[in-house]
Amino acid sequence: MNSSSRKVAIVPCSGIGKPYGTVSRVAAYLVTENDRPGRSRLVPLALLVMGDEEYGRFVAESRAITIDGCPLACATKMVRQSNGRIVRECSVMETFRRHRELKPQGIAELNEDGEKLAEALAQEIDAVIDTLISQEEGGSHA
């Protein structure tokens, strides 16, 4: 397994104009840019939809974590259509149900609760990536 295939594809919702879509993207940025930059790679959903070869190949060759902002589950559906191997389907709504005190608002910029919800979701994704890394180091390939 080469080092790029060990990176986990993080595919967030592209629900533009909706707070839960924004939460999904902020969580994806937190994971890929701050928390696990060497172990994850952001895959923009729009590029998968448009048939971008590089991202399509990356998703097909990697494990993926999808982050859906609504029940339409566009990120999950598109990764499946791209022959990706989903190791975790995350839902902003499910994370919100576990953190009902955090009411996300805003679109271009989230309120403080929205930022905290994105951080909680990012921590859940970080834990999945850590488990995958642990399995790899233990000799088992996830």
Q: Give the domains, in start order, of the chain with CATH numbers.
A: 3-131 (3.40.50)
d(CA 103, CA 37): 28
Q: Which of 69, 70, 72, 76 is nearest to 9 (CA)?
A: 76
User: Residues 12, 41: contact at Cβ < 8 Å?
Assistant: no
* Between residues 134 and 30, the one the model is more confident about: 30
Q: What percent of the chain clears pLDDT 90, i.e. is strictly above it?
A: 84
Banded model confidence at residue 5, pLDDT cuts 50, 70, 90: low
pLDDT exceeds cutoff 50 at 4: no
* Strand order through the sheet with 8-12: 40-42, 8-12, 63-68, 85-91
| Backbone phi, psi, residue 79, to 5° | -65, -40
d(CA 28, CA 25): 5
pLDDT single digits (tens) 67-110:
999 999 999 999 999 999 999 999 999 999 999 999 999 988 99
Q: Which of 110, 88, 92 is nearest to 100 (CA)?
A: 92
Looking at residue 139, its pLDDT comes to 61
Looking at residue 1, its pLDDT comes to 41
pLDDT exceeds cutoff 80 at 133: yes
Neighbouring residues of 28: CB distance < 8 A, sequence distance ≥ 6: 10, 11, 12, 42, 67, 122
Cα pseudo-dihedral 29, 34, 32, 14, rounded to 10: 0
